[in-house]
Each structure stands twice: as structure tokens, then as C-alpha cells.
Amino acid sequence: MTKKSLPKYVYWDRGYVRFIRRARGQSVMMKEEPGTPEFWDHYNALLKGREPVPSKRNFEALILSYYESDAFKKLKPRTKADYQKYISHIRSIWGTKDPAKIEPHHVYELHRANAERWRQANYLVQVMVVLMNHARLIGLLKKEHGNPAKGIPLFKQESDGWQPWPEDIRAEFEAVATPRARLVYELCLGTGQRIGDVLKIRWDHLKDGAYDFTQGKTDKPLWIPLTDRLSAHLAMVERKGLTVITDAQGRPVRYRTVAEEMRKVKAGMSHPDAATFVTHGLRKNATIELYLAGCDDEMVKSVTGHSGVEMLKKYGGRVRQKVLAAKAQDARNRMERNKTRT
């Protein structure tokens, strides 16, 4: 059944359909397949009044309940989309299964079955933890059972994450990039922020030589002075709309559009490895430059917005260790010189 052929008051919603009749205050998720006899039975019942969907002890009921919860509704749009992707996978394999019958070895096996994509496998377990916590809240899982998804050993990251862009790749990119791709590059590098936050930068966010905003992922308010390099670049950019990065008509640009443009620029570069470096790697470049400039962990966090030292270790990596070691050994040398003088 296509979107146009759905009956009155019925709309697609996160892989299900929802019956919405605002005049009666009705908003009910319908798990039946549109067009089936079960769907029409439920639909006709809803037309007559606010009849509840029969409750069952399975993942279908759990997922529907979680989608209606305040916890899900308060998630950021990007996080919601990620959760829905993994919840859809869980629904496809365990939709009719009773959550109370899930044991740690089931979750462990699910995790191992996705081992070839370690990041996705880990996220799948993390979403399971959230779902099973909700199962306890609505009585589908007893307190003494605990959360069977907690304590599952996650796959370790195989590398230090996204790699910073080497100097030769940066130089070539700067020379051949389209104006908008170059602007994205300069903003990511200059502010040290994620691409999602960079795309939301408005001209009125830039005041007195600083960027005043709230990070989308962390809800952390930040005030970041612009580097001289970024200020100089922005001075040459034409203001077409509210946001700094726009399309030809001055409208905000979607992440997918910018990501594709960045990929095309790198695909046309002569460096054989250019395409392997992603835009998020520029956040690591910014972190490394801060350490090389002599900043300590707290100073770096004040710019990048990282919440803890562990993430800084991931982004600063070897450079962070070298800078700290150099400072430590220099302190020892000064101590020794003071001893000889006395």
C-alpha cells in the first residue's frame, strides 16, 4: 500500500503507520501491515473511538512503547535516526520474541554475528541496553532479571579513529576545492567542530571575532574565538543567506549535499590516498594543532568541546603524548639545573 493509498487519518511513521485524529486527541501506532484484514479491523475500531492496541509481551510491543516514550522523543534527530536503524534490525529478528526470554548469550551472539562491522555491532548492543531498560520500566522485564545486554564485551576500535589530513593532501585540496568545499574545510579546521555543527553556523553566531553556539551532539554551550586564518577566509565569503554555508539561492545546505561535494573534490585529486580521508578527520587536525601550540587538555576541550580525556587521547593520539612528554622532561631538566646551582 503506497503513501497515497493509505486511508484517512493514517500516516507512515518510522516503519509503521500511525492513526492520527486530532479532533478526538487520537494518535495510535498501528503495527498491522496496511491492507491486511487485521489492519482494517484495527482501523475501523479506531474510527469508532479510542480503542487501545492489544498489549503483547514481545519486541513489537516494546519498540512501539519506546517510540512513544519521552526518552525517545527527547533524542536529537540524528540520534533518533541511528536508533531507528538498529531497532529495525532488532525488530526483524526478534519482533515476536518475549523480551523476558532474552539472555546475555543471545545478545552476545547477536553482537558476534555482526563482527565484520565492529562499530555497528557495538552500537547494536548499546541500543539493546536502551530497549531492555525500557522493558523494565513498562513491566516486560522483572528487576531481578537485570539487563541482559549490559556487560557484553564490545569490540575494541581497530585504529585511532578518523585520521588527520596529511600536509600534502591538505595543500592539494586547498588548491583544487570548490569555493563551498573550501569554506567547509576552513570552518571544520578553524573551529574544530563536527560537520553537523559547522553546517548550522549562521552569520549572527559570529560576533566580536568569536563563534557563540551550542553543540548539537552534546548540548554544550561553547564560545570559540576565531583563528586569524579563519577570520581572513570568512572576510572573503559572500553573505547569501542566514547560514554561512548555503546553496546558490542562499538556502541552508544538507549534510548529504556537502559530503558528496567533498567526496567529488577528493576523487579528482592526484594524491592516490585523498579519498580515504574524511571531513571529520579535520576535527582531529584541529585537536593536534592545539596540542602542538602548547595547549593542555582543558584548553583543548574548551575549543573542541570533548567531554573527557579519553576522547582527547583518541583525537590527539601520539602528538598529545609527545607534547606532554616533552613538557615533563623539560621540567626534570630545569629541576636538575637548579640542583647544580645550589
Choice between 52 and 157, residue whose per-residue pLDDT is larger: 157
On the 0-12 / 13-18 / 19+ scale of CB atoms within 10 A, 92 is exposed
- 39-48, 57-66, 120-129, 234-243: which range is least confident on average? 39-48
Tell me what pLDDT residue 72 has: 93
- The stretch 169-195 carries a mean pLDDT of 96
Angle at 182 (CA atoms; ends 287, 252), nearest 5 degrees:
100
- The stretch 111-132 carries a mean pLDDT of 92
pLDDT above 50: residue 335:
yes
Tell me what pLDDT residue 53 has: 46
How far apart CA 310 and CA 54 sit, in angstroms, is: 46
How far apart CA 16 and CA 287 sit, in angstroms, is: 42
pLDDT above 70: residue 342:
no
Tell me what pLDDT residue 144 has: 75
Contact 316, 291 (CB under 8 A): yes
Tell me what pLDDT residue 339 has: 82
What is the C-alpha end-to-end distance of the chain, expressed in Å? 89
For strands 26-30 and 206-207, give the pairing.
unpaired
Tell me what pLDDT residue 200 has: 93
Tell me what pLDDT residue 19 has: 86
pLDDT above 90: residue 96:
no
The per-residue pLDDT for range 143-153, each reduced to its tens digit, is 777 899 999 99
Nearest by Cα to 282 from 149, 188, 191: 188
pLDDT above 60: residue 236:
yes
Nearest by Cα to 197 from 311, 257, 283: 283
* Rounded alpha-carbon distances, angstroms, from residue 238 to 5, 207, 235, 331: 46, 17, 8, 49
Tell me what pLDDT residue 162 has: 76
Percent of the chain with pLDDT over 90: 54
- The stretch 79-93 carries a mean pLDDT of 91
- Averaged pLDDT of the chain: 88
- The stretch 77-95 carries a mean pLDDT of 90
Which grid coordinates are listed for 100? 523476558
Tell me what pLDDT residue 279 has: 95
Specify the amino acid at residue 82.
D
pLDDT above 90: residue 12:
no
| Confidence class for position 20, pLDDT limits 50, 70, 90 | confident
The per-residue pLDDT for range 293-306, each reduced to its tens digit, is 988 889 999 999 98
What is the DSSP track for 276-338? Answer: G--TTHHHHHHHHHHHHTT--HHHHHHHH---SHHHHHHHHHHHHHHHHHHHHHHHHHHHHHH
Choice between 341 and 330, residue whose per-residue pLDDT is larger: 330
Which grid coordinates are listed for 45? 475500531
Tell me what pLDDT residue 2 has: 52
pLDDT above 50: residue 1:
no
The domain segmentation of the chain, as residue ranges, is: 10-48, 59-145, 167-281
pLDDT above 70: residue 194:
yes
pTM over 0.85, yes/no:
no
CATH architecture of 167-281: Orthogonal Bundle (1.10)
